[in-house]
């Protein structure tokens, strides 16, 4: 048994698919299959049920999975300890963040960190808040930026949460759509693009405008859907199921409006925004780490960079001062 075999086993268990696991691990599928077959022979038990292309864990595989994850996490901890001996000239950080933060705060923080510590390898995991917390508890991440507070469970021992920012949600449309002027893009002019009524907009007014919605299960979609339901309103949907990058492109093209976190407006001149009122909606961005695991120097440096970047976003002339506030 070796770590490569265990990593292959865990990836197949995670994806439920040999082809997808092989692609993630950058292995040829026959090589991956041989590793799993060798591991099964050494353990004397089949780890997967293989039926008509469907892969699921056997009882032996289900028993092995948490141990394999723990062994891989321990091996990663050893690598990090060795990297510590070289200071911040090398190392590796596994940072998790929600998609909305990846296009705003995280992008700015990673850019700053890489300039200061170019030898440190960065692995970014983009998932929803609940999945990130679970990955952190399993030892698969060093730190995570999440957008809602979750209570630690038995699988998330001694979780440390630090609130960083309080951020308002705003309504966005394509540039100049507040004045009623046509806006031209590479694809042509959209005179039918929706208008924002002014610097402020109520939830009822938003409900009457064509909207681009995120997919169900997305933290932001759940928050806005709850607000519409509580107000007895039904949004006028033109597109739903998109991720953040796609939503922003659709809005730039004049397809509709969207409710998004204020920080995504940084360096996006083709978007205009209005403050959402009646009710106003906000979210808290928190930095999550494991209290029972010693942070590496690289991870501590990344945490400081994230906090300084958050402060800069609220203090510099980014136009966010009215929407984003530090949590002291």
Helix (DSSP H) and strand (DSSP E) numbers for the chain: 11, 15
Is it the case that residue 278 has pLDDT exceeding 80? yes
135 vs 195: which has the higher pLDDT: 135
Residue 103 has pLDDT above 70, yes or no: yes
Where are the domain boundaries for CATH 1.10.10.10 in the chain? 3-67
Q: Quick check: 174 and 272 in contact, CB under 8 A?
A: yes
How far is Cα 310 from Cα 283, in angstroms, rounded to an integer? 14
Contacts 24+ apart (CB under 8 A), 115-120: 116/301, 116/305, 117/88, 117/91, 117/298, 117/301, 119/88, 119/89, 119/90, 119/91, 120/88, 120/90, 120/91, 120/92, 120/93, 120/298, 120/301
Beta strands 188-189 and 324-326 are: unpaired
Please check whether the domain covering 3-67 is classified as CATH 1.10.10.10.
Answer: yes
Could you tell me which residue, 150 or 38, shows the higher pLDDT?
A: 38
User: Candidates 3.40.50.920, 1.10.10.10, 3.40.720.10, 3.40.190.10; correct CATH number of 167-283?
Assistant: 3.40.190.10
Predicted pLDDT of residue 36 = 93
Mean per-residue pLDDT, 119-131: 89
Question: What is the rounded average pLDDT for all residues in the chain?
Answer: 84
* Residue ranges, CATH 3.40.190.10, the chain: 73-163+285-318, 167-283
pTM of the model: 0.65
Domain 73-163+285-318 homologous superfamily, CATH: Periplasmic binding protein-like II (3.40.190.10)
pLDDT exceeds 90 at position 328: no
Between 51-55, 143-147, 162-166, the lowest mean confidence (pLDDT) is in 51-55
pLDDT-derived band at 96, boundaries 50, 70, 90? very high
**pLDDT value of position 26:** 87
Among 33-37, 58-62, 72-76, 92-96, the least confident range: 72-76
The predicted-structure confidence for 244-266, as pLDDT tens digits, reads as follows 889 999 999 889 999 999 888 88
């Amino acid at each position: 048994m070796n770590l490569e075999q265990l990593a292959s086993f865990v990836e197949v268990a995670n994806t439920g698919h040999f082809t997808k696991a092989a692609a993630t691990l950058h292995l040829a599928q026959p090589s991956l299959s041989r590793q799993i077959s060798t591991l099964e022979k050494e353990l004397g038990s089949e780890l997967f049920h293989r039926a008509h292309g469907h892969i699921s864990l056997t009882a032996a595989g289900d028993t092995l999975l948490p141990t394999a994850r723990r062994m891989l996490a321990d091996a990663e901890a050893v690598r990090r300890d060795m990297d510590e001996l070289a200071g911040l000239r090398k190392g590796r950080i596994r940072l998790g963040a929600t998609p909305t933060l990846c296009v705003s705060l995280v992008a700015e923080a990673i850019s700053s960190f890489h300039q200061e510590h170019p030898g440190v390898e960065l692995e970014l995991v983009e998932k929803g808040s609940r999945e990130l917390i679970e990955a952190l508890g399993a030892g698969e991440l060093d730190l995570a930026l999440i957008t809602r507070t979750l209570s630690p469970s038995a699988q998330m021992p001694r979780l440390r949460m630090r609130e960083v920012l309080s951020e308002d949600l705003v309504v966005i449309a394509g540039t100049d759509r507040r004045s009623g002027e046509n806006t031209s893009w590479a694809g042509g002019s959209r005179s039918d693009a929706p208008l924002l009524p002014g610097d402020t907009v109520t939830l009822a007014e938003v409900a009457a405008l064509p909207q681009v919605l995120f997919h169900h299960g997305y933290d932001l979609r759940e928050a806005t859907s709850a607000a519409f339901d509580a107000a007895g309103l039904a949004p006028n949907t033109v597109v739903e199921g998109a991720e953040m990058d796609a939503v922003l492109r659709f809005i730039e093209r004049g397809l509709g409006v969207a409710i998004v976190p204020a920080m995504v407006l940084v360096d996006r001149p083709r978007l205009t925004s209005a403050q959402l009122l009646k009710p106003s909606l906000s979210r808290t961005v928190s930095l999550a780490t494991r209290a029972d695991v010693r942070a590496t120097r690289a991870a501590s440096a990344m945490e400081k960079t994230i906090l300084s970047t958050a402060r800069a976003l609220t203090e510099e002339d980014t136009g966010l001062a009215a929407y984003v506030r530090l949590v002291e």
